[in-house]
Amino acid sequence: MAFSAMKEKYSSQVHTVVLGATKEEGGTRDYTITVGGEGALPFLHFEGEVPHRPVVALEVWDVVPEWHESLAPYFGDVYNDPAAWAKKCVMEYNADLVVLRLKGADPDVADASPEDCAKVVKDVLAAVGCPLIVLGCGNPEKDSKVLPAVAEATSGEKLLIGVADQENYKSITAACIVHNHNIIAGSPIDINICKQLNILITEMNLPADRIVIDPTTAALGYGLEYGYSIMERARIGALQGDKMLAMPIICNVGHEVWRSKEANASSEDYPAWGDQANRSILWEATTAAALLQAGANILIMRHPKALALVKQNIEELMVPTSFDD
Amino acid sequence: MDKVTVLFTPDNVAVQVEPGTSLLQAAGLAGISLVSSCGGDGTCGRCLVKVEDGHVRVAETGNLSKKAKQSGLVLACQSFVESNVVIGIPSMSRLTEHQVLLDENQLMEEDIGTDEGFFFRPLCRVVELTLSPPTLAENVADWERLQTALRNVIDCSDIRISLPVLRRLPELLRTDDWRVTVIVAQMNDCAEVVDIAAGHVQKELNLYGLAIDIGTTTVAINLIDLKSGLPVGQKGSYNRQASFGDDVISRIIHASEASGGLPELQSAVISTINDLVAELLQLSNIDAHDVRMVTVAGNTTMTHLFLGLSPKYIRLEPYIPLAASTPAVRASELGLNINPAAYVVCFPSVASYVGGDIVAGTLVTNLAQEERIILLIDIGTNGEMVLGNKDWLVTAACSAGPAFEGGGITFGMRAMKGAIDKIKVDPATFDVQVSTVGRCKAQGICGSGLINCLATLRAVGIIDRTGKLQTDLSTPRLRQGDDGWEFVLVYGNDTAHGRDIVITEHDIKNLMRAKAAVYAGIRSMLQAVQLTEDMIDCVLIAGGFGNCLNIRDAITIGLLPDLPTEKYRFIGNSSLKGARLALISQQAWQEAQLLGSKMTYLELSAGNEFMDEFMSALFLPHTDMTRFPSVTNLK
């Protein structure tokens, strides 16, 4: 007997967001990246279109990061040079795009001025041709000064700038509108706040197709399932026609995973856990793989090998399965 | 130890108390009721008094500002008398003349009894009887003879009489040749001869009843002439239990945890009623002895406290009241100053948080006879609601908190004189104009004022949809206060107390929670019966807001569903109306008994439905803006 698959029909799809702008479009990027647009739950190609594959980004910091020593062989030589670091991420490690984290702006780190931060961003833009994601230092007050300055200095580049939350969304949104960038709207694992922030931002007249949501995730073993279920709800909402939940999703995977004990504990202290280097890579890749299934569109990774594994996973998942023949 | 004297000004009332007595208790003894939202926990900061002379021991200053402390203000509940003192009571700390919802316009001469399809037949009435005299052959006893005659008139076989009346029976029967006038109380299937007079004297006999609505905040009373069914007078005031806390929960805690708490609360409400009744009787020159029947509608906790029943387990999961329906009791058992033998009956409750007041409201609105789908909401401290029609009725209660009654709001107050009920904000300069109850200097903001405030602040962009004050706006009215950011509604030189009246971000969040709870309650109930908002034909708004509430404002902030305003109707104090209806119609009283058991109670705290709805309602008007098209389109 012929098998016929039960198919879910959805009335709507995820918004698409274009990251980066080429010379013709008013920026300086070699190419742009489009994310979103899915008309089905993740990778269910037989139920709807999945027009754009999820993309992976690698982290670059503007100050020397206090990262685990096992990452030093990959980035240690460029820790001091964000531009070279970014280049390495793209050329050597095949990152789709680069995330520049302006940690140095943090008053408790280097308290870099908005102008200095803008300069680092411009240096990185000059070094690579891929679209760029810029994250603030995490101090809302400082970010609301730094990010608008960055937005102004890079006007027209269609950066993805974040993270805007309920406290500081106004200044960041205004800067993104004026200087033609995209924004990351961050919410604390809360579907309502996620949606509310999207409403607030769109009501300031930033179009919905320039918002990417960061629903906040956790590493495997640290509450991943909470973030997962929120993402799933957002996706289902989007497919059922909720425009204010229909933004592509970004997940800060590396940052979360590298805070976990499992990524950092030495093999000597935990011999039963196996080799730390492999373990951390797998921990990061596994977390990312789960988030892909939840509906992530952009994954921010830290370890190049984890990135490679996830890229391979994405390639495999993007091969359409069809029950129609 | 010797007693010490506390003199209260400007009243000039002195009381003798034991040292160690709190000023709050002392004020109570002096007959002065202070505002005490938290019930004497030292947390609400409302019972401010000024030590004018002498010294008190201050245990806690709570959240008092430095300025207040310097000016000699203390919390009455946390300050204890040690020696003779003189205490000044600022007007803002005083529970004063209360605007209680009595529905002067709506209630008075409405023809209750015919409109609702209930027959006029009071629970207590006067009947003239002519008995056939006994003979040697027909030698039935006097009382049985009276019973037989009565049975021809009233539809009841179980007729009783009290011993004192029985003792007077033989002479009365024979005084006017077996013609007598009897007063009969009849409830359900049982009647009692409560008094007898010789001869046919219906005209000369007076018979009155009381319909009482006991609210958590206010008590309202109707004095009814039971011979005609017409109201003689009405009065209302704040419930004196308010000194033991603003909401039912703090009352329950006081009743179950403080020693002597339960009798204290009972006597507080009884004395509130007694004072109101005394005034009513005096005004209309009626003898207390002629008041022989009382119907009482109140929420479950109020009914418990009125009868002196312990409400302890109402508060504890799984929230079980002591009794849903309570027996008829004598006025003397409760200490009501009317005819001691008068019967007092209370409306049955549905559940712990859906009480007799809601049953009374359902009765008087005739909800259970309607073809159309009706939603009845009583927005008080506890937002109770009933949804349904003649075929089904569901009810639920959501804890909205006291915000709409002014509780938990920095300058919140009940709708008393000086309460801001409406504001106007200039969108360019952010200057504010306010209107107040009684058109006097502003003292605080009442519930409808707060709702209007929220809608207005949102409309001019002073708050965003999350309720956050937009601190980047340039107006001196937005400033950092003791409690975070605040917006000045009225500057001190225009207020009754000289302090700036502000609304803080914290207040706004409290209001948002209250409105979210009410809306989430409505949604959860609709979902339980699989209906959508537009299937509601009519929304009846009962309770404290009365006609003050602007429906448009309420929809704008997402408190009420976005339905055409024509679908909304104010019904005022439906609890009092229901009590009055039952008092004059046995049929209505019987229906009330049935209603209590007919209504299906939805426990909103079971399951996640309500919480999910609540969280998404914490936005102006709502996270799902498609539910409020008329609000969204305004933009």
* Residue range B351-404, pLDDT digits in tens: 999 999 999 999 998 899 899 999 999 887 778 999 999 999 999 998 887 788
Task: Tell me how far apart the alpha carbons of residues B307 and B329 are, in angstroms, rounded to a whole number.
Answer: 9
Model pLDDT for residues A73-128, shown as the tens digit of each residue: 999 999 999 999 999 999 999 999 999 999 999 999 999 999 999 999 999 999 99
- Is the per-residue pLDDT at B100 higher than 80? no
The answer to whether B448 and B605 have CB atoms below 8 angstroms apart is: no
Q: Are the beta carbons of A170 and B472 separated by less than 8 Å?
A: yes
Q: How far is CA A187 from the centre of its chain?
A: 14
Which of B317, B346, B375 represents a domain boundary (last residue)?
A: B346
Residues 6 or more apart from B218 whose CB is under 8 A from it? Answer: B98, B100, B101, B236, B237, B238, B239, B544
Model pLDDT for residues B37-61, shown as the tens digit of each residue: 777 777 777 788 888 888 888 887 7
Which residue of B lies nearest to A237 if distances are taken between CA atoms?
Answer: B624
Which residue of B lies nearest to A242 if distances are taken between CA atoms?
Answer: B624
Cα-only R_g, chain B? 27
**Domain for residue B455, yes or no?**
yes
Largest CA distance in chain B: 101
Lowest mean pLDDT of A247-261, B154-168, B234-248, B456-470, name the range: B234-248
- Is the per-residue pLDDT at B113 higher than 60? no
Q: Are the beta carbons of B619 and A244 separated by less than 8 Å?
A: no
Report which of residues B246 and B138 the model is more confident about. B138
**Domain for residue B408, yes or no?**
no
Task: Tell me how far apart the alpha carbons of residues B367 and B374 are, in angstroms, rounded to a whole number.
Answer: 7
The pLDDT of residue B542: 86
The answer to whether A284 and A301 have CB atoms below 8 angstroms apart is: yes
pLDDT band at B299 (very low <50, low <70, confident <90, very high): very high
Compute the average pLDDT of residues A193-208: 95
CB pairs under 8 A between A and B: 27
Q: How far is CA B458 from the centre of its chain?
A: 31
Same domain? For B257 and B188 the reply is: no
Q: Are the beta carbons of A200 and B625 separated by less than 8 Å?
A: no
Angle at A166 between CA A160 and CA A168, to 5 degrees: 65
Instruction: Show residues of chain A in contact with B634, CB under 8 Å.
Output: none
The answer to whether B524 and B494 have CB atoms below 8 angstroms apart is: no
Same domain? For B104 and B141 the reply is: yes
The pLDDT of residue B416: 78
Compute the average pLDDT of residues B288-307: 96
Same domain? For B395 and B522 the reply is: yes
Which residue of A lies nearest to B469 if distances are taken between CA atoms?
Answer: A167
The pLDDT of residue A147: 96
Number of folded domains in chain B? 5
pLDDT band at B111 (very low <50, low <70, confident <90, very high): very low
Compute the average pLDDT of residues A254-283: 96
- DSSP assignment of B122-133: -SEEEEEEEPPP
Same domain? For B395 and B531 the reply is: yes
ipTM of the complex: 0.80
Chain A residues with a Cβ under 8 Å from any Cβ in chain B: 166, 170, 190, 192, 195-196, 199-200, 203, 242, 244
Residues 6 or more apart from B527 whose CB is under 8 A from it? Answer: B609, B613
Of B466, B616, B625, the CB nearest to A166: B466
Which of B324, B346, B368 represents a domain boundary (last residue)?
A: B346
- A250: closest CA of chain B, how far (Å): 22
Q: Are the beta carbons of B468 and A244 separated by less than 8 Å?
A: no
Task: Tell me how far apart the alpha carbons of residues B112 and B121 are, in angstroms, rounded to a whole number.
Answer: 12
Q: Are the beta carbons of B623 and A192 separated by less than 8 Å?
A: yes
The pLDDT of residue B188: 78
The pLDDT of residue B102: 47
- Is the per-residue pLDDT at B323 higher than 90? yes
Percent of chain B with pLDDT over 90: 60
Which of B205, B229, B257 represents a domain boundary (last residue)?
A: B205
The pLDDT of residue A1: 66
Compute the average pLDDT of residues B196-222: 93
Same domain? For B433 and B460 the reply is: yes
Residue range of the domain that includes B288: 209-346
Q: Are the beta carbons of A192 and B615 separated by less than 8 Å?
A: yes
Residue of B505, B623, B632 for testing the chain A interface, max A β-carbons within 10 Å: B623
The pLDDT of residue B573: 84
Instruction: Show residues of chain B in contact with A166, CB under 8 Å.
Output: 466, 468
The answer to whether B281 and B287 have CB atoms below 8 angstroms apart is: yes
Same domain? For B386 and B442 the reply is: no
Percent of chain B with pLDDT over 70: 95
pLDDT band at B98 (very low <50, low <70, confident <90, very high): very low
End-to-end CA distance of chain A: 14
Look at the domain A16-317 and name its fold: TIM Barrel (3.20.20)
Same domain? For B29 and B152 the reply is: no
Beta strands, E only, A165-261: 182-186, 211-214, 250-252
Task: Tell me how far apart the alpha carbons of residues B102 and B242 are, in angstroms, rounded to a whole number.
Answer: 19
The pLDDT of residue B389: 93
Q: Which of B32-36, B114-118, B470-474 has the highest mean pLDDT?
A: B470-474
Compute the average pLDDT of residues B510-523: 94
Same domain? For B330 and B219 the reply is: yes
Structure tokens at B225: 């002439």
Compute the average pLDDT of residues B10-17: 82
The pLDDT of residue B147: 94
Instruction: Show residues of chain B in contact with A242, CB under 8 Å.
Output: 624
Compute the average pLDDT of residues B557-574: 92
Compute the average pLDDT of residues B17-21: 85
Same domain? For B393 and B542 the reply is: yes
Chain B residues with a Cβ under 8 Å from any Cβ in chain A: 464-466, 468, 472, 615-616, 618-619, 623-625, 635
**Domain for residue B174, yes or no?**
yes
- Is the per-residue pLDDT at B94 higher than 80? no
The pLDDT of residue B106: 39
The answer to whether A85 and A45 have CB atoms below 8 angstroms apart is: no
The pLDDT of residue B51: 87
CATH at residue B10: 3.10.20.30
Same domain? For B341 and B361 the reply is: no
Structure tokens at A23: 């010379």
Same domain? For B364 and B427 the reply is: no
Mean pLDDT of chain B: 88
- DSSP assignment of B408-454: TSTTB--S-TTEEEEEEE-TTT--EEEEEGGGS-B-EE-HHHHHHHH
SS3 A92: coil
The burial class, CB within 10 Å (0-12 / 13-18 / 19+), for B524 is buried
The pLDDT of residue B1: 62
Compute the average pLDDT of residues A210-231: 96
Report which of residues B545 and B281 the model is more confident about. B281
The pLDDT of residue B544: 65
Of A170, A196, A242, the CB nearest to B619: A196
Mean pLDDT of chain A: 95
Domain limits of chain A?
16-317
**Domain for residue B507, yes or no?**
no
Instruction: Show residues of chain B in contact with A190, CB under 8 Å.
Output: 615
- B49: closest CA of chain A, how far (Å): 39
Structure tokens at A302: 């830290």
Using CA atoms, how far residue B221 sits from A123, B233, B236, B271, B279, in Å, is: 79, 8, 6, 13, 11
Which residue of A lies nearest to B621 if distances are taken between CA atoms?
Answer: A196
The pLDDT of residue B635: 46
**Domain for residue B410, yes or no?**
no
CATH at residue B120: 3.10.20.880
pLDDT band at B13 (very low <50, low <70, confident <90, very high): confident
Structure tokens at A130: 């891929």
Q: Are the beta carbons of A200 and B623 separated by less than 8 Å?
A: no
SS3 A81: coil
- Is the per-residue pLDDT at B488 higher than 60? yes
CATH at residue B610: 3.30.420
Residue of B458, B462, B463, B464 for testing the chain A interface, max A β-carbons within 10 Å: B464
Same domain? For B321 and B295 the reply is: yes
- B240: closest CA of chain A, how far (Å): 41
SS3 B48: strand
Which residue of A lies nearest to B614 if distances are taken between CA atoms?
Answer: A192
Residue of A173, A193, A196 for testing the chain B interface, max B β-carbons within 10 Å: A196
Residues 6 or more apart from B332 whose CB is under 8 A from it? Answer: B340, B341
The pLDDT of residue B116: 55
Residue labelled with tokens 């009420």: B560
Nearest to B87 by CA among B49, B55, B113: B49
Structure tokens at A81: 């040079």
Compute the average pLDDT of residues A186-194: 95
The pLDDT of residue B109: 35
Model pLDDT for residues B413-450, shown as the tens digit of each residue: 877 788 998 999 999 999 999 999 888 899 999 888 99
